[in-house]
Every structure is written in structure tokens, then in C-alpha cells.
Amino acid sequence: MEGQHIGFPIDIVLILASVIAFYMATDIHAHHKNRTMTLKEASFWFVFWVFAAIAFAAYLWVFYDPSWGKLFLVGFVLEESLSFDNVMVFMVIFGSFNIKDVVLRRVLFYGILGAIFFRLAFASVGTALYAASPWVGLGFAAIVGWTAWKMVTAEEADDTLTDYSNHWSVRLIERFIPVYPRLHGQDMILSRQEVEGLQAQDSSIQVKGGAARYATPAFLCMMIIQLTDIMFAFDSVPAVIAVTKEPVLVWGAMIFGVMGLRAMFFILSSLMKFLVHLDKAIIALLFYIAAKLAIEAGNNIIQWPNLHLSPGQSMIVVFSILALGVLASVVLPKPKE
């Protein structure tokens, strides 16, 4: 295989396009059922995408070259392990917006599509984009660390949150676009006629007048999810490119890795209902993610502290912290009321 390149075979491109289309079709069908994803369903889809990735690697192995199948599989495992960072931060963002049930699934659907787009774009440009990563990583490390600290010091979450007028995202975004400060079903954008009708029913709702369209808190949450995933793409894309410089293999690893992201999120979300100390493990993971981003940024900016965590070591840390959260929930359950 020395000196050879796989290029962009039409059959592989069609397979990857079909995978994205299949994801969209199954999720749109789930939206029509108007229900959230259960733990059983999420586990099925996570296993499904893992086996789908293995089948794609086998296809490369048989019809092209065994080495390309191996490179894709290594890239997929790397992307899947790095996706844990995304999931942890996603859970915090959804908790901040009190986004639940079917609305959560809809927001996550668009978040996954954005993740696919940005990863494909970054992989296409290559490592040139990574030049901006050290500074972006340092700033994002501070944001993640601050988020973890706010979770430590925050009081019990308010499950009855309905008015987002004082939510930090609304106060920030209203400087640029008008916001309707209530969730309205699964809608992300409302027309002026819809907002006026809702105001007629509830005079306490205050919005900036005269706009043709209004964003809802679900839209704001989706945009923050997108921005968060762009930050993480600066970390995961160069890591996979380090494994293989073949763009189509990088695309494949990204697509199959992101496909399992949604199921992974719902698995952890469902487990939190039964594992009462898992939230503490997630806080610990956020501090770990912040430290890892800061160390990587320091290595690239000032060549200090010159510590390097391989994806395998990082995955061991993630699983160990989660295992401690599970063990603590089993050994030290909360007393029944």
C-alpha cells in the first residue's frame, strides 16, 4: 500500500451518503411517533452503529485493502472515545435549558447533523485549521471548568422552569435577534402572528415587537450545542487525521462515530435516573475535560507542561470515573423518602 491512495471511490461515497440519509429517515420517523428514546432503544442503536462500522471496515478490507479497513476502524474507535467529552457537555447544556423528552431529541437531531457537517468540513480542509486550536482550546477549557464549578455550587435544578426571560442565553442573544422566552412544543422558530396569538393568551409574555421571526429557547439550545461541537471538532478531527491522511477514511470514521453519539447521550441520560451519584461523576469528568484541553493548549502554545494523554489513556480515565459514579450509586443509594 506504500505510496497508494484510496481516493474517493464512488461506492464508498454512496455508502457514507446512505448512512447519513438512513440516520435522518429513522430519526424523522421517531419524531412522528412523538416520544423520547428509551434506554433499550438507545442501547440497540449504539450497538447497531458499532456493528455498522465493523461492516464498513470489512467492506474496505475485502474490496480494497486490509490496511485501509484497519485504519478506518482505528479512526472510528478514536472518534467514538473522544465523543464522551461531547456527551458530558451536552448533558450540562440541556440541563441548563431544562430541555427534556421529545424536544431534547429534536434539538439533538439537528445537533448531530451539525456535527456531521462541521467534521466533514474540517476534515476536508485538513490540519491547517488546527493552527487555531491552541487558543480556542484554552478558552474552551476555561468555559468547561467554569461550567463544572457552577454545577458544584448550584442549587437543586428547577424542573418547573417555563419562563426563560432571565436565562443567560436569552439576555445575550436578544441583542442580535428577538427571542420568545417560552418553549412552544418542538418549535424552534415562531412567526410574528404566532407570537402575537400567544401574547393574547398570556399578557405576561414580553417580546421585542416588529420582527418577522422569533427564536425559542429550543433554538438557542441547539445553537449552543452546535458551537460546542465546533470546539470539540478542533480536538477530534486532527486526532483522526493523525491516524490516516485519507480524507474518505477520515469522513467515514467521523460519520460512524457521530451516529452513535445520540444513542450514547440517551444511554447516559437514562442511567442518571437510576444512578443517583452519576451527576457527581459527570462533574468530575468536566473538570478532567477542562484540564485536558488546557494541557493540550499549553503544550502547543508554550510547550508546557509537556504532558500527553493518548486517546486510550483518556478513555480509561473516562470509564474509570463513570464506574466510580455507578459504584457509589450502588453502595451509597439515596435514602427513600
Decide if pLDDT at 126 tops 60. no
pLDDT above 90 as % of the chain: 4
List helix spans (H) across 160-216.
Answer: 168-173, 192-201
Domain ranges of the chain: 23-156+231-331
CA distances from 278 to 50, 249, 257, 316 (A): 24, 35, 24, 17
Tracing cell 462515530 back to the chain, one arrives at 257
Using the Cα atoms of residue 324, residue 326, residue 327 and residue 331 in order, give the sign of their dihedral.
positive
User: What average pLDDT does this structure show over 293-317?
Assistant: 77
DSSP line for 243-273: H---HHHHHHHHHHHHHHHHHHHHHHHHHHH
Decide: pTM greater than 0.85.
no
* Bridge partners of residue 213, in order along the sequence: 191
In tens, the pLDDT along 127-161 reads 444 445 566 667 767 877 776 786 677 645 445 55
